[in-house]
Amino acid sequence: MNSASGMVDVGDKEITVRLAKAEGSIKLGDDAFGVIKNGTCIKGDVLATAKIAAIQAVKSTSSMIPLCHSILIEAVKVEFAMLEEDSLVSVTVTVKSSGKTGVEMEALTGASIACLTIYDMLKYAGQHMTISRIKLLEKTGGKSGDYKRQN
């Protein structure tokens, strides 16, 4: 077993447009879901705050994940879907960059932090919340080619 850690050398790789889309969800109790739906959170706008948190997390990924490269982020798109019948909020984060390494970790980090932010803002309304389904949906660009998750 090799115990040495190190960053991958991407110096000789071609610069290509990279895109990654990741998703996560948070299952809320009915009371917490109602707080978002009715806009009554004591901390402020839950989804607007989670969106900013996701963008900030995307930009800070290399500071949180030790062997992740620092990259130039060109665009971040954060979308939410509220599924009332399940008291579920789903978040999708899409990240774009032109560079020598992919943006999968940035998209996954953004989705994770958006869910954690929702949890933080709503914990006063009930802590029976579950974050799940953090996954890469698709990626394009780079040597390893394109990927699209099949359901």
> Which entry of 12, 30, 120, 146 is annotated as an active-site residue?
120
CB neighbour class for 48 (10 Å; exposed up to 12, middle 13-18, buried from 19): exposed
User: Which residues face 77 on adjacent strands?
Assistant: 94
Three-state DSSP at 104 gives helix
Phi, psi of 3 (to 5 degrees): -95, 0
User: Is 120 marked active-site?
Assistant: yes
d(CA 16, CA 75) in angstroms, rounded, equals 15
Instruction: State the Cα–Cα distance between residues 111 and 36, nearest whole angstrom.
Output: 18
H or E element in which residue 18 lies = strand 16-27
Q: Can you tell me the distance from the alpha carbon of 137 to that of 110, in angstroms, rounded to the nearest whole number?
A: 13
d(CA 19, CA 75): 9
Q: Which residues are known catalytic residues?
A: 120
